[in-house]
């Protein structure tokens, strides 16, 4: 079955997960059951540390602080799911609460 990356971009909260509104946290937690009910398998899911902890390696080997792109939203976490098709993977992405960012769904090689 094809695999898709579901990438979650959000504006960082000063206190991280501790500052996440309870209704957003509940929506995140309940998404797992909804995803399973769709017949989609979550292969892996992972939240990420704040963008300030990231380091970027440039072509010449130079290591710089922070993420590759400086944007309002940062990559906050990701899922890898096995879904029958892109439409189903998009439906999974729509289950995730979006506070001030976006969810990107991308097929894996």
pLDDT digit string (tens) for 35-47?
999 999 999 999 8
- In the chain the domains, ranked by start, together with CATH numbers, are 3-107 (3.30.70.1060)
Mean pLDDT of the chain: 92
Spatial distance between the Cα atoms of 26 and 31, rounded to a whole number of angstroms:
9
Phi, psi of 25 (to 5 degrees): -60, -45
**pLDDT grade, residue 16 (50/70/90)?**
confident
Spatial distance between the Cα atoms of 3 and 15, rounded to a whole number of angstroms:
32
Beta-carbon count within 10 A of 83 CB: 24
pLDDT of 109 > 90? The answer is yes
Instruction: Please report the pLDDT score of residue 17 as a whole number.
Output: 80
pLDDT tens by residue, 57-85: 999 999 999 888 878 889 999 999 999 99
Orientation of helix 86-95 relative to helix 22-37, angle to 10°: 150
């Amino acid at each position: 079955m094809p695999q898709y990356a579901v990438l979650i971009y959000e504006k960082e909260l000063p206190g991280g997960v501790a500052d996440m509104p309870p209704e957003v946290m509940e929506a995140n937690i309940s998404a797992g059951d909804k995803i399973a009910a769709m017949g989609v398998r979550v292969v892996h899911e992972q939240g990420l540390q704040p963008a300030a902890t990231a380091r970027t390696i440039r072509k010449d080997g130079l290591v710089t602080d922070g993420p590759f792109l400086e944007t309002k939203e940062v990559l906050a976490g990701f899922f890898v799911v096995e879904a029958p098709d892109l439409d189903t993977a998009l439906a999974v992405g729509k289950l995730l609460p979006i506070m001030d960012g976006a969810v990107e769904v991308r097929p894996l090689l």
